[in-house]
Structure 1
């Protein structure tokens, strides 16, 4: 006979995972604000800019913003390629312990 599923434990695990993902998303949004330099704006001005973006209905404008954002992330990825893992925010232990090429720590 099969053991009955513990739905309460599964639901709690899913709730915990959802909370962790929500916290991670919030943390990443904060990092994005800092990385773009938008943390220099007063909170009211930043909120106004974001509200205007949410209310924008022009698809060509939104597509332009998307392309600019994609270019921003690509340029950051190129800048971080080949740098020290600590400077780029990467953790070599989480990356499988691999040392990037050209790193000072290579033997």
Structure 2
């Protein structure tokens, strides 16, 4: 099974995390299932940018972002070439290294 290495984040993963996940799982669901509480204000439908992540390694294994995802990413804080909405990025067979940006554009943190 592929692994996701989550780089340290002060709120979501202070010490980082290493997750083993099943292929076909979104990065967002994988993080939430392993108690890495990434924000997801739109309910994981790709309609906001609160679950924005930067895929530092392994991103070539992911399907390319849709035009709608790219349009949403234009609104994200700190977007980079490797940025993805974690709710839209589906894990394949390769290991990933993921960074959760320090900030999001969300005004209220969601629970669950």
TM-score category, normalised to shorter length:
under 0.3
Of Structure 1 and Structure 2, the greater strand share is in: 2
Of Structure 1 and Structure 2, the greater helix share is in: 1
Higher relative contact order (CA 8 A, sep 6+): 2
